[in-house]
């Protein structure tokens, strides 16, 4: 996927696992989010007690729905699971398999993203050469216990000043505060509870899509819809 297509795919990036679906079936929430217009889905089934067999079956079902909608399907952390699920890529953290090693296993045609939350982590990521960066937490978040302190949109702007890689902001983002993340230089927003925890995930996704696209248009971005 070239950079322009990846920037567009990152616009509204839904990160979801069973623990963040408000007690509803994960597949039901993903289907609603896809109807609402999310542009990428990350399968993050790490906070549940599902056996591996069930995790694989659920991941395959999510992958199928994503492909039906033409939306990239990414697996969190685990390159082995990404390969099992024939995912479009993987997203790794600073303590996971480095992007350079993940790419050796996945092959050159798949997406590799990496999380950055400090200038030092950005230095590591830029040496590793991922396809995109997940920057945050931008705002305070309760969806990831080890996310660290909120960095604010200033950190998004700092990362943008250091690289032209596609960027997605993550952490505490909602339709109400998404616009400043895009204005700071992010190509999109990644959310967990803003969609997964919403009473109407489809409407929540639609609201995020509207806000992101409106801000991109205001900034004159070429991938604005």
Catalytic residue among 7, 103, 110, 144: 144
Specify the DSSP class assigned to residue 85.
T
Catalytic residue among 115, 143, 193, 216: 115
Is the CB of residue 167 less than 8 Å from the CB of residue 6? Answer: no
Is the CB of residue 62 less than 8 Å from the CB of residue 30? Answer: yes
Which H or E run contains 43? strand 40-43
Residue 115 annotated to the active site: yes
**For residue 113, what are the β-bridge partners?**
91, 132
**For residue 116, what are the β-bridge partners?**
135
How do strand 40-43 and strand 89-92 relate by DSSP bridges?
A: unpaired
How do strand 12-16 and strand 188-191 relate by DSSP bridges?
A: parallel
Q: Which residues are catalytic?
A: 44, 115, 144
């Amino acid at each position: 996927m070239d950079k322009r297509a990846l920037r567009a795919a990152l616009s509204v990036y839904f990160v979801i696992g069973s623990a963040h679906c408000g007690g509803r079936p994960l597949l039901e929430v993903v289907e609603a989010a896809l109807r609402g217009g999310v542009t990428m889905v990350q399968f993050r089934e790490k906070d549940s007690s599902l056996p591996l067999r069930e995790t694989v079956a659920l991941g395959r079902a999510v992958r199928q729905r994503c492909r039906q909608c033409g939306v990239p399907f990414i697996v969190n952390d685990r390159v082995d699971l990404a390969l099992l699920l024939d995912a479009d890529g993987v997203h790794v953290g600073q303590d996971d398999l480095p992007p350079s090693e993940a790419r050796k296993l996945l092959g050159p045609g798949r997406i590799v993203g990496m999380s950055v939350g400090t200038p030092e982590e950005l230095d590591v990521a830029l040496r590793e050469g991922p396809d995109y960066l997940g920057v945050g937490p931008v705002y305070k978040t309760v969806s990831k216990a080890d996310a660290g302190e909120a960095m604010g949109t200033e950190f998004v702007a700092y990362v943008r000043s250091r690289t032209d890689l596609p960027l997605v902001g993550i952490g505490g983002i909602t339709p109400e505060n998404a616009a400043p993340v895009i204005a700071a230089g992010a190509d999109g927003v990644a959310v967990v509870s803003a969609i997964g925890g919403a009473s109407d995930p489809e409407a929540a996704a639609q609201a995020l899509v509207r806000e992101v696209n409106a801000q991109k248009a205001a900034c004159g971005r070429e991938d604005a819809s």
